[in-house]
Structure 1
Amino acid sequence: MKQLGETQRALLARLQTGRAATLKELIEAVWGEDPDGGPDDAPDAVRVALRRLKRRGVPIERERQEVWRLNQNQDQGVAA
């Protein structure tokens, strides 16, 4: 199985805190607290990375619009 990319690892690390994360928080997890908030396509890049993690079996749940959470009740089984 292919290793996770840098963006996916950063998102997974943030979600593993057990708290729900907003899109802004996930962008900050990947690109830091840069006042510009990362590249112009940062929101789309985060959404794509989340979808890819879900396809790999990571139990990410959308809690509400632009807020995600890791379902800690399911086994992740993903190589970081």
Structure 2
Amino acid sequence: MEVSGYVTGKSVTDVLGIYEVSADPFASESYEDPFSITKKVNGVTGNVGAKLKLGFFRLNADYTLGEFNTLTFGVNFGFR
């Protein structure tokens, strides 16, 4: 089964402090207040999933395609 949609969002993170960031052992850069990270997301998403019944146990998996791909896996049990 495939379900598609559209996702949009914005994340802003502000942190306080002094941060040393080094790309290699001989070079580093210092960042001081205010340090801000902004990320915007928008685009089409799609899901693919499956469920397998094995007696009392069930296995399920779901993969979401989009700006951030996600794989979800679960194990559960039931009597029906």
TM-score (norm 1): 0.22
TM (normalized to structure 2)? 0.22
Higher RCO (CA 8 Å, separation ≥ 6 residues): 1
Q: As a proportion of its length, which structure holds more helix? A: 1
